[in-house]
Structures are given as structure tokens and as C-alpha cells.
Structure 1
Amino acid sequence: MKTHAIRTFLFTTILAGLGYFAYFKAFLHDKTSQMKSVYAIAFHQKPFSETETPRLPAADFKTRKLIILLWMWPRGYKFPLGVCLAKYGIDGCHLTANRSWYENADAVVIQHSDVSSNISLLPPQTRPSNQLWVWFNMEPPIHLSNLHKMDNLINLTLSYRQDSDIFSPYGWFENLSESENFTIPKKNKLVSWVISNWKPQDKRVQYYEELKKHIPIDVFGRGHLAVPDGKILPTISQYKFYLAFENCQHRDYITEKLWRNSLGSMTVPVVLGPPRENYELFLPADSFIHIDDFPSAKELAAYLLQLDADEEQYRRFFNWRFSRVVMIHSWVTHYCKLCKAMHQKVKHKTVPSIEKWFI
């Protein structure tokens, strides 16, 4: 009996020891896995994923990249987001359009026209602490509605206006490190204009109607001449002058009509928009022709014909190209500039009324 009892005791003890060892091994493995997971997140051992919701410990917010959430793709356009470093030398942010990142986003960018029709399209009103809401807009006031819906919601403004918290124009100049030669494309035509939204009551259409009485103008767009797919700039570059006419006259509203269509195609821009003084904040005074410089469309036409006959005078409008290069925005440009501004600790506040400021 004693021998049997001793054997039973030893067998039970061994089984208990093996069970405890297995439990302790599993416990250590689980803790080790947890520690590895925390370490990986804190030190970015793997890239952010667009398919998972982040759960970062609060302490890690001091060292991680800032998270900028696009609440909606602007106007529905989708584009690569991870290009700020390669394109602009701007780093330190994770741009995402995945709303599962909302709780951890440092900034949420709201493009006005995407939410203006329905306030329910805005992000949840109960936002995480220290999260900034950024009002993003590249349209003039005449095209905006329901600005009052943004009252006391916005912390930063991002737009083409120079007095925005983050100023992001349609285009800009960058200085060349050294002077470069350039070649003006061969030009065998005089004046062109591309227009997609024809409204007879607009100032630009009315001015065109008067100008065409005195000088030939080729108009491209709906209801006019067709442009071969993907060849808008090569087409425009055959002309000496381009009508960079804005659809409205608003402070700082100088769009791709000038930056891309005209300067991007090596034509001399004839501008209609804000006053000349406003243009000169962005452009050399001798790089463009403003309609306000002439008492009438007839005098403007006479000047363009004079330049057409005088090659030396015409070429002077290109002198700036020896020392500068034109940069044209893409959608992601604006978000990259926001990233840079946030790292520079741009001052933020709660804007009582976007409407009072912008209009």
C-alpha cells in the first residue's frame, strides 16, 4: 500500500509540474508577443496600414508621425498620398483617407464643397481632444454655399488666399540656382482661349465678345474648337497669347488658367481677374498683360498686334524664365503644405465665422 501511495503521489506531482511548466511557457510567450507588438508600433517596425484601426499608447504620440485624415477625397478625385517627401522634401506625416483613423487623427481636412450641401456629411461633432479641423477650399466665394455651417468648428484654414493659416496657391515660382537657357516654342498663331463653362453674363465672356471684333481668337472647349485628348498644352503653345480669364474677380484667385494653361505652355498671359497689383504679388510685372492696362478691348487688341510684329518686344515677356521656374499644384500639394505647417507649430484657433473672413 505504501509503495502504491508513493507512486501515485510522485505521478500526480510530475503531472502538476508539467502543467505548470506549460502554463508558464505560454504566459511568457504571450507577454513576449505583446511586448514585441508594442515595440513595433512605438518604433514603426512596420508601415501604417490603411486596413487596420491604430491603437497607439498615448506616450507614442510624442515620437510618431502626425496623422492627417482627408475626410473625403476632394471632389471625388483620388491620388497617391505618400509622396510628400519625394516631391516636396516634407516628412513627418501619415496622410490617409481611411476614416477608421479618425480617433487618432491629429488633423481632419474638410474640403468645403464636399460637405456644404448637407451638414450630416461633416465629421462627428464629438472630436478627440487636441484634434484640429482644417477648412480646405480652392474656390472663390461666388461658388460656395452654406459657409455658416462651419461656424465655430474650424481651427485652421487652407486655401489660395494669402491670409489663410496655410497658404497654398494654384501655382508659384521657384528661383533657379543658376541662370538657364530656354527655347520659346515655334508660334504661328496669335490668340487662344480655353473655356469649359460658358456664361454670356460673365465679364470674361462679355470682354471676349468685344475683343474678337478687333483680333482673331481661337476658342477651345464645349461648343467651340475641340482639343485632341491630352494635347491641350501643345495646342496652346502654338499661340503667342493666351486669355487667362478667371470666372470671377476675387482677391488672390489666380488659377491654373494662368499657371498651367498659359505659363505652362510658354504663351504670354492676358489676364482678367483681380487687379494688377494682386497679380504682381505672385508674378513679375513684365510677365503678363492685364486688361485693366487698356481703356478698351480695342486698345488691347492693337497692343497685341504690335507685339506680334515686334519679336524683340514680345520676347521680353519671357525674361523671367532665365532665373525662375513655374511650379503647379496638384491635389496632394495642399496636404503636404499642411503637414509642414503643423510641424512648424502653426498657430490655430477656433474660427467664429469662415463666411465673415472669406467673403
Structure 2
Amino acid sequence: MPNSPEYDSIPWIFHTNENPVFNKATPNEKIMAKFTYTATYRLDSDFPCPQFTQPSLSKPFPFEKKTGFVIAIYSHCENVRTLYMHRLMKHIRVDSYGKCLRNKPRLPEGFDKIQPLIGKYKFTLVFPNSDCDYYTTEKMFNALSSGSVPVWMGTDKIDEILKWGNLKNAVIMVRDFKSPRKLGDYLTWLGNNKRAYNKFLSWKYEGFAFPKNYLNSPIGLWWEGWPLYCQVCMRLSNDKGLKRQLPADRCDGKQRRTLEKWIRE
């Protein structure tokens, strides 16, 4: 950002989809004080734009045709998620295609080739590299769109996205299990129980069933509202002369610390 007085009279937008652990500007108070608006993955951002876009309603592989059990695709081996997956692998089979604990060959390139592979697995580990408020990744979209049930280990604020309509019954939360063993036991049971398993995919057949007020929510506006830069233009046209300093954003990783304690006991 130029250090010139002429730039002080215009609004600046901080646009990123990286979390504070890997984006050193976000937790820096001096840097953030120069900006007027945020356009980030956070749902409480001025212009929310998370990588988790609205999943596809394409029909999943039938239960009987799912040949895989659990799939994981990670190449950044963050300590807690890697340790958790390592412990989970002691109890169930996890096919890891990324660099972390890899036991399968390299993935094909392109989502159009990866999606059918994910869809053949009953479960997908969706463990973001950091536990930061509102931080989600495209891996949640990939799992849901492919028809593989996501197993989520990340921000509790994922509830603000999944609370709408049938999506609230589409994801398994790691936080609900006191150990990797207990999660593994549950996945083993669910993976052998067609009726219980298919309840997690009912939204694929019944639709999202979003309530009317969903369209006024941050995720509703992102999924089905005006495009991002149209929102920016409309906001700027109404906020002429607005000047404010944004606070720093830090990642506390509260859930990760809890999970780390569980898996080290």
C-alpha cells in the first residue's frame, strides 16, 4: 500500500482467503489499521467469500458401489491433524493420497478426475491446516459434491454454514468423539449400516431445503447473492467518506489444543 497522503482519503479492501497462521498481515495491527473493509473467508467479514462454495446436488455412488472406506488428501503436514490421522490409522483403514502419511499413489490432476475417486469413498477426512474461526477450505466442497461424507476437524463456526436446511445432517464432527479410536469405531459401524449412512446423504436427493431467511445470511449471500465485486461496488456507493481502522485477526486454535490433549493421553 503506497504511503502517500492522497491514498488516505480512499477506502482500502483487505482481500485474502488464507488464515492468520499463514498470512502474517492479518494479525499485524499496524497493517490492518490501514484498511477499511475485509473480503475474506470469515462470515463476519464485510464481504464474505470463503472457499467453501455451494456443493453440487449430483447423485452419489450407491452405497454398494463405494469401494473405498476413508480417504485423506493432505500435503501440508500440520502437527495436530497429522498426529490425529496417524492415531486414527491404528484403528481403521485410511487411504492417504497426499504427502502426509501417504500410502496410496499420486492423485490424478484436475477436480473432474479427483471427484469420481473421492465419490467412491464412504468418508473423507476434511482437516484444515489450522483451527481458525470460520476457516474452511475447498476440501469440504469437494467431499460434499462428490457424495462422500465429510469428517470435519476445524472451526466450530462451521455450524453457521451447515445449520441451514439439510446440510446440518451432512457432516460428522471430530469434536463429538473423545478419541481417534472412538471415531474409528463409529465410522466402522456407520460404514456397515446402509440406512444410517445414507441419512448423511439425504440432502443429495431431497435438496438443500433452505429456509427463506437463509438468503439474508452471509453464506446465503455468498452462495446465491450478488457476485463479490458487485457487492463491493454497492457498498462503496453507500459508504462514501467512511474511514475506519480494522482490528487484527488472530487464530486461537482452541479446538486443536483440545484434540491434541485427547490424542496424547
Q: TM-score, normalised by structure 2?
A: 0.74
Equivalent-residue separation in structure 2 for 1:130 and 1:197 (angstroms): 41
Whole-Å Cα distance in 2 between the matches of residues 152 and 319 of structure 1? Answer: 46
Tell me, what secondary structure is at the counterpart of 1:141?
Answer: coil
Q: Which residue of 2 aligns with 1:127?
A: 6
Q: CA deviation at 1:358?
A: 4.9
| Contact 2:53 2:138 (8 Å CA) reproduced | no
Partners of 1:196 and 1:221 within 8 A in 2: yes
Q: Which residue is equivalent to 1:184? A: 60
Contact 1:249 1:274 in 2 (8 A): yes
Q: Distance in 1 between matches of 2:92 and 2:231?
A: 42
Task: Check conservation: 1:173, 1:324, Cα contact below 8 A.
Answer: no
8 Å CA contact 1:227, 1:235 repeated in 2: no
SS in 1 for 2:184: helix
Deviation at 1:294, TM superposition (A): 0.8
Residue 229 of structure 1: aligned partner? 109
In structure 2, C-alpha distance between the alignment counterparts of 1:266 and 1:339, rounded to whole Å: 36
Tell me how far apart the structure 1 counterparts of residues 90 and 30 of structure 2 sit (CA, whole Å): 46
Pick the aligned partner of 1:311 from 194, 209, 213.
194
Q: Which amino acid aligns with 2:97?
A: F
Q: Indicate the residue corresponding to 1:273 in structure 2.
A: 154
Identity within the alignment, %: 28
**Is structure 2 residue 34 aligned with structure 1 residue 156?**
no
1:318 Cα deviation after fit: 1.4
Correspondence for 1:320 among 174, 199, 203: 203
Structure 2 gaps of 5+ residues are 210-218, 252-265
What's the CA shift for 1:131?
Answer: 2.4
**Does residue 256 of structure 1 match 2:138?**
yes
Give the 3-state SS of the residue equivalent to 1:338 in structure 2.
helix
Question: What is residue 85 of structure 1 aligned with on the other side?
Answer: none
Indicate the SS of the match to 1:165.
coil
Query: Aligned AA for 1:295?
Result: K
In the other structure, the counterpart of 1:79 is none
Counterpart amino acid of 1:291? V
What is the CA distance between 1:291 and its match in structure 2? 0.7
Distance (whole Å) between structure 2 residues aligned to residue 285 and residue 151 of structure 1? 34
Provide the alpha-carbon RMSD of the alignment: 2.9
Kindly name which structure, 1 or 2, has the bigger radius of gyration based on alpha carbons.
Answer: 1
Structure 1 or 2: more strand by fraction: 1
Question: Structure 1's 309 and 344: CA in aligned 2 closer, same or farther, altered over 3 A?
Answer: farther
Matched residue SS, 1:281: helix
| CA distance in 2 between partners of 1:245 and 1:218 (Å) | 14
* 1:123-169, Cα deviation, whole Å (9 max, x unpaired): 35333575211011211111122423425321111111122212222
Residue 216 of structure 1 deviates from its aligned partner by 0.4
Compute the displacement of 1:344 (Å). 6.0
Length-normalised TM-score, structure 1 = 0.56
Distance 1:344 1:309 in 2: 56
Partner of 1:97: none
Q: Which has the higher contact order (CA 8 A, sep 6+)?
A: 2
Does structure 2 retain, via aligned residues, the 8 Å contact 1:156–1:349? no
CA distance in 2, matches of 1:337, 1:218: 41
